[in-house]
Amino acid sequence: MSTTLKAYAVRLFPQVAALAVILLMVSIAFPGFFKLEMQNGRLYGSLIDILNRGAPVALLAIGMTVVIATKGIDLSVGAVMAICGAVAAAAITSGHSLAMTLLITLGTGILCGLWNGILVAVLDIQPIIATLVLMVAGRGIAQLITEGAILTFNDAGLIFIGSGALFGLPMPVVIWLAFGLLVALLVRRTALGMLIEALGVNRRASMLSGVSTGVLLIAAYVLSGLCAALAGIIAAADIRGADANNAGLWLELDAILAVVVGGTSLLGGRFSIAASLIGALIIQSVNTGILLSGFPPEFNLIIKAAIIVLILVIQSPRAQSAFVFLSRARAPVKKTAGEAK
């Protein structure tokens, strides 16, 4: 068992290290950064803020990780967020109960995922094109639902999802942590993870080995749609309204970035949901950190890009083999891994 734990540690080390370095850098520029305080049974502080603000991207990254592991990509998640936010707002304002509203909204996300999945798995359309369809159409659909305006609501229950607190943590944080854990357990405690990885590396060989590649592919996009629905509800609940034009705008790119920073290859195969979640936190830490450090806002995007380039360079196969080379040059004798129990 300790070998598995060690494998996890090795896998997650670059992401954890990058996150730690970024947090340290921010804390130097902004001394009160690590301070946490309890008020009215809820934690407050910059760190909590990062966890809270990062919720939509973290949720999207969960689904995106699985989709990318199948050698696909889901460009529609931002638009699906907008659709689901609009559906939630429309349902609650037209008098549905909170439970019904959530059911309808999550169902909408699943439906969107099903659409993408069928285009990819059954019609065999390239994922980037298949999901582009809904990315473009999605905002239009959302605008139709909200009738072009920002659809506001005042339901306390729905608002709680965006700004309430549970166990001292903001509700969005609880949701993405719980959902991330749930999905991670689902893929790793069952054989789903291995089958998805096999499908992502070689779809035809997996099919010939009896893997139900079609069902798995559709399931991956459905999961991604479900994640987008959760993120859409949080985004709408946060501003107490559905903004069809801006909800989830460009977040699909942040989600893809989170997965890539998390070290999952766009070529499919090996994936780690934990690493993608840390990736999402890295992105949010950079965003929050730049704001807190008081840089002029026009620098934000450029600094963010520079930091991400740095992380990707550290992860690149070339750099990794250089590290291996250097470490071997220092210790030229030992080479007896593998047989360890």
Partner 1 sequence: MQASTSILSATAIDKIFPGARALDGVDFSLQRGEVHALLGENGAGKSTLVKCLTGAYRRDGGRILLDGADVDPQSTLEAQNLGIGTVYQEVNLLPNLTVAENLFLGRQPKRFGFIDSREMNRRAKALLAEYDLDIDVTAELAAYSVAVQQVIAIARAVDLSGKVLILDEPTASLDAHEVAMLFRIVRRLKERGLGIIFITHFLEQVYDISDRITVLRNGKLVGTRATADLPRRDLIAMMLGRELVQEVAAEHGAKGEGGEVRFRFRNFGRKGHIQAFDLDVRRGEVVGVAGLLGSGRTETAEIMFGAERADSGTAEADGRALDLSSPRSAIREKFGFCPEDRKVDGIIGDLSVRENIALALQARRGWARPISRSEQDRLADEYIRALDIRTSDREKPIKLLSGGNQQKAILARWLATNPDFLILDEPTRGIDVGAHAEIIRLIESLCEKGMSLIVISSELEELVAYSSRVIVLRDRAHVAELVGNQVTTDGIVEAIAASAGRVDA
Stretch 145-164 residues interacting with partner 1 (CB under 8 A): none
Q: Does 334 bind partner 1 (CB under 8 A)?
A: no
CB of 202 to partner 1, least distance (A): 5
Nearest to 55 by CA among 319, 287, 295: 287
Q: Does 330 bind partner 1 (CB under 8 A)?
A: no
82, 239 Cβ separation under 8 angstroms:
no
Backbone angles phi, psi at 264, to 5 degrees: -85, 130
Of 32, 95, 297, 338, the one binding partner 1 (CB under 8 A) is 338
Of 37, 124, 298, 339, the one binding partner 1 (CB under 8 A) is 339
Nearer of residues 168 and 214 to partner 1, judged by Cβ: 214
Stretch that binds partner 1, among 54-62, 100-108, 202-210, 232-240 (CB under 8 A): 202-210
In the chain, the amino acid numbered 48 is I
Distance CA 46, CA 52 (A): 10
Distance CA 117, CA 120 (A): 5
Stretch 240-269 residues interacting with partner 1 (CB under 8 A): 269
Of 46, 52, 206, 287, the one binding partner 1 (CB under 8 A) is 206
Q: Does 205 bind partner 1 (CB under 8 A)?
A: yes
Distance CA 216, CA 200 (A): 10
Stretch that binds partner 1, among 25-33, 70-78, 108-116, 333-341 (CB under 8 A): 333-341
Q: DSSP letter for 24, please.
A: H
Tell whether the torsion through CA atoms of 147, 139, 141 and 61 is positive or negative: negative
CB of 340 to partner 1, least distance (A): 9
Nearer of residues 63 and 170 to partner 1, judged by Cβ: 63
Three-point CA angle 245, 250, 255, nearest 5°: 135
Stretch that binds partner 1, among 51-59, 192-200, 235-243, 279-287 (CB under 8 A): 192-200
CB of 126 to partner 1, least distance (A): 19
Q: Both tokens of residue 36?
A: 């946490």
Distance CA 199, CA 205 (A): 8
Q: Does 317 bind partner 1 (CB under 8 A)?
A: no
Q: DSSP letter for 83, please.
A: H
Q: Does 110 bind partner 1 (CB under 8 A)?
A: no
Distance CA 220, CA 67 (A): 5
257, 272 Cβ separation under 8 angstroms:
no
Nearest to 266 by CA among 124, 65, 8: 65
CB of 176 to partner 1, least distance (A): 24
Of 212, 245, 246, 316, the one binding partner 1 (CB under 8 A) is 212
Of 111, 114, 201, 303, the one binding partner 1 (CB under 8 A) is 201
Euclidean distance between the first and the last CA atom of the chain, given in angstroms as a whole number: 9
Q: Does 210 bind partner 1 (CB under 8 A)?
A: yes
Contact set with partner 1 (CB under 8 A): 4, 189-192, 194-195, 197-198, 201-202, 204-212, 269-270, 324, 335, 337-339
